[in-house]
A and B are shown apart, each in its own frame.
Chain A
């Protein structure tokens, strides 16, 4: 077993270079570990999970992100075996696990409330799963020590759960779910029971531990920040369906629909009409709220005259008091509009500007405060020019 762990460490060593902190989509071909096929779960007439397909690859950290009641927890509980799907199949490492009871599945779960056994010490909690495998006492002891070391809880072996703080409980829960060296680790709202400050600190620590062990991980969360910092890939769920699956960057930069764009971060949405588009001319989009057309360099490949929504992130809108110019110093012909600053929210690192356009629509734009104070940027009631790069616009059809 100790050898196995060493092997794992070697693998993670090489992976660490691939899985860097930016979490670019990993190019390396990975083996699929968990395949979910056409899973549906109905409670009477209510459809909790609606015909979902998902493949999770070995060694990745995957997040199911959605608001409460979107079916993400139900999906996780079906993987763990606490709920039976109405139809579909779940294949873990080549083996169909539908109908296999939770105590016979080679995966472990860390619960939202941690679910530590209150009458057992930290060591007994961690050893519980190993005892069920009827391992020799010495092996269990060794593994428990290994786990305690991994989560830096060696001093607390003999404490009971109620003698630990929230963060310490989480570490014990993690150690307990990793002790059996599962093929797959499930995390249910891992930071749900922690306060905000501790949450931010534990996020990276949790990822570091998971990566050092090299276990594949599926987590459920409603916190987009948590999903983006911890996961390599995210699935946004709504009403039992996947809206978009991709890396955090893909989802933020290229959302595939209005729901995904609005769910992650904040965004300005412009309901508009496609005027023309073609491979040579790019695309021209007209919005009644904007004084000038949106002109994209790319061909959006849609029918002319179609209703589209253009999404622009607040940090990608430039705010200036003077007429914006292009790289040649010529005034812009399109991709800009004018408005009046109505609100400025000072957030420390950035300021959030609310700019009212002539049509009455309020556009949000964020500026780093370094600029704001150095350059004397616009203030309340200033008339400002809003402009954007063509590549900052995302055209959405639904």
Chain B
């Protein structure tokens, strides 16, 4: 939507600039541009802004403003149930992201490095199937499996472990896709060079291939972390009585009636996410600048 607006805008700007060559700051196009941009940003961020504002609301009702206060933040800190849910979510997100990175990387190695084998395309299809399957189906099938298993072998009980297993199933599909595409791009001659210089296959993997695919593994991990932090549908199916994650808790609270505590929590999350994004952006800008300088350095030197 925002892109559409921008594109429209750019096309208009181009036609107008071609006809009217006046001061570029005050043309009709620049005013239009500003208006469209404001609409775009409002569309995207107004809900979040409202949420932040209302987190400082004094009233118990979420939608009615009665005065500034930070009491809901203190309320949040003393809400044991809420803190536990956040911790549960973090534990599950962290452990399932770590596990799915291992499984996903192994799957990517099998798909890229080991030559064709019987059932390869079947394997590729099945490893990525959870990406396209509806969450409801994954959740239901997981639930049925766990119930059947606990009937037969008495394990697992519904709780953190079952959520963790389900999340790994879902997220390792994403990690596989990310790592596999990076691995496909990898220059095979780098690997051959390492072999040629006397490093065995295992040494080559750990010293050459792993560092080269590290960026993909890190972004796969982050993706898996976000996905499992965020998941509601599958977790609803497999969660036990004492293992509510944050999304599950929030959703159940919504049904029982919301209080501004949720707003306070959301504001904190938005704040943390923005800080992380900003730091990441800053590091990218720095790296980019450094890369450009390096390239200049290399080009200026004659051989």
Q: List residues of A whose CB falls within 8 A of some B CB.
A: 80-82, 101-104, 108-109, 111-113, 115-119, 128-129, 132-133, 160, 162-168, 176-177, 180, 198, 201-202
Q: A112-B189, A163-B298, A165-B298 are in contact. Are A128 and B303 (CB under 8 A)?
A: no
Q: How far is the CB of A202 from chain B (nearest CB, A)?
A: 8
Do residues B198 and A180 form an inter-chain contact, with CB atoms below 8 A? Answer: yes
Q: Which B-chain residue is minimally distant from A160 (CB atoms)?
A: B294
Q: A165-B299, A165-B303 are in contact. Are A129 and B212 (CB under 8 A)?
A: no
Cα of A27 to Cα of B88 in the assembled complex, Å: 81
Residue B200 at the A interface, CB < 8 A?
yes
The 6 A-B pairs at the shortest CB distance, nearest first, are namely A167-B303, A129-B197, A132-B198, A115-B193, A115-B189, A163-B294
Chain B positions 168 through 188: 1 when the CB is less than 8 Å from some CB of chain A, otherwise 0: 000000000000000000010
Q: A111-B192, A168-B298 are in contact. Are A162 and B199 (CB under 8 A)?
A: no
Q: How far is the CB of B211 from chain A (nearest CB, A)?
A: 5
Q: Which A-chain residue is minimally distant from B193 (CB atoms)?
A: A115
Residue B46 at the A interface, CB < 8 A?
no
Q: How far is the CB of B303 from chain A (nearest CB, A)?
A: 3
Cα of A81 to Cα of B207 in the assembled complex, Å: 21
Q: List residues of B whose CB falls within 8 A of some A CB.
A: 187, 189-190, 192-200, 203, 207-208, 211-212, 291, 294-295, 297-299, 301, 303
Q: List 12 A-B contacts (CB under 8 A).
A: A80-B192, A103-B196, A103-B200, A104-B198, A109-B196, A115-B189, A118-B190, A162-B294, A165-B299, A165-B301, A168-B298, A177-B196
Among B192, B194, B198, B207, the most chain A Cβ lie within 10 Å of the Cβ of: B198
Q: Which B-chain residue is minimally distant from A80 (CB atoms)?
A: B196
Cα of A82 to Cα of B192 in the assembled complex, Å: 8
A residues less than 8 Å from B187 (CB atoms) = 113, 115
Do residues B212 and A118 form an inter-chain contact, with CB atoms below 8 A? Answer: yes
B residues less than 8 Å from A119 (CB atoms) = 211-212
Among B193, B194, B200, B299, the most chain A Cβ lie within 10 Å of the Cβ of: B193
Cα of A132 to Cα of B301 in the assembled complex, Å: 32
A residues less than 8 Å from B208 (CB atoms) = 117
Q: Which A-chain residue is minimally distant from B211 (CB atoms)?
A: A119
Cα of A38 to Cα of B190 in the assembled complex, Å: 30
B residues less than 8 Å from A111 (CB atoms) = 189, 192-193
Do residues A198 and B303 form an inter-chain contact, with CB atoms below 8 A? Answer: yes
A residues less than 8 Å from B291 (CB atoms) = 162
Do residues B197 and A128 form an inter-chain contact, with CB atoms below 8 A? Answer: yes
Q: A163-B298, A201-B303 are in contact. Are A180 and B192 (CB under 8 A)?
A: no
Contact residue among A115, A133, A201 (Cβ-Cβ distance under 8 Å from B198): A133
Do residues B192 and A132 form an inter-chain contact, with CB atoms below 8 A? Answer: no
- Using A108-B196, A132-B199, A163-B294 as known contacts, list a sample of 5 further A-B pairs with CB atoms less than 8 Å apart, ordered by residue number in A: A115-B187, A132-B198, A160-B294, A163-B297, A168-B303
Cα of A101 to Cα of B195 in the assembled complex, Å: 8
Q: How far is the CB of A171 from chain B (nearest CB, A)?
A: 8
Do residues B294 and A115 form an inter-chain contact, with CB atoms below 8 A? Answer: no
Q: How far is the CB of B22 from chain A (nearest CB, A)?
A: 45
Q: How far is the CB of B65 from chain A (nearest CB, A)?
A: 54
Do residues B297 and A132 form an inter-chain contact, with CB atoms below 8 A? Answer: no
Q: How far is the CB of A209 from chain B (nearest CB, A)?
A: 14
B residues less than 8 Å from A81 (CB atoms) = 195-196
B residues less than 8 Å from A176 (CB atoms) = 193, 197
A residues less than 8 Å from B301 (CB atoms) = 165, 168
Q: How far is the CB of A200 from chain B (nearest CB, A)?
A: 12
Q: Which A-chain residue is minimally distant from B303 (CB atoms)?
A: A167
Cα of A168 to Cα of B298 in the assembled complex, Å: 9
Cα of A162 to Cα of B294 in the assembled complex, Å: 8
Q: How far is the CB of B116 from chain A (nearest CB, A)?
A: 13
Q: Which A-chain residue is minimally distant from B297 (CB atoms)?
A: A163
Q: How far is the CB of A7 from chain B (nearest CB, A)?
A: 23
A residues less than 8 Å from B199 (CB atoms) = 103, 128, 132
B residues less than 8 Å from A180 (CB atoms) = 197-198
Cα of A82 to Cα of B297 in the assembled complex, Å: 36
Do residues B193 and A117 form an inter-chain contact, with CB atoms below 8 A? Answer: yes
B residues less than 8 Å from A117 (CB atoms) = 190, 193-194, 208
Cα of A68 to Cα of B295 in the assembled complex, Å: 32
B residues less than 8 Å from A113 (CB atoms) = 187, 189
A residues less than 8 Å from B190 (CB atoms) = 115-118
B residues less than 8 Å from A160 (CB atoms) = 294
Among B192, B207, B294, B303, the most chain A Cβ lie within 10 Å of the Cβ of: B303
Do residues B189 and A102 form an inter-chain contact, with CB atoms below 8 A? Answer: no
Cα of A103 to Cα of B301 in the assembled complex, Å: 35
Q: How far is the CB of B301 from chain A (nearest CB, A)?
A: 6
Cα of A101 to Cα of B200 in the assembled complex, Å: 9
Cα of A311 to Cα of B296 in the assembled complex, Å: 51
B residues less than 8 Å from A177 (CB atoms) = 196-197
Cα of A133 to Cα of B197 in the assembled complex, Å: 9
Do residues A132 and B303 form an inter-chain contact, with CB atoms below 8 A? Answer: no
Contact residue among B197, B203, B212, B303 (Cβ-Cβ distance under 8 Å from A108): B197
Q: Which A-chain residue is minimally distant from B210 (CB atoms)?
A: A119
Q: How far is the CB of A380 from chain B (nearest CB, A)?
A: 43
Q: How far is the CB of B151 from chain A (nearest CB, A)?
A: 51
Q: A162-B291, A168-B303 are in contact. Are A132 and B197 (CB under 8 A)?
A: yes
Do residues A103 and B298 form an inter-chain contact, with CB atoms below 8 A? Answer: no
B residues less than 8 Å from A116 (CB atoms) = 190, 193
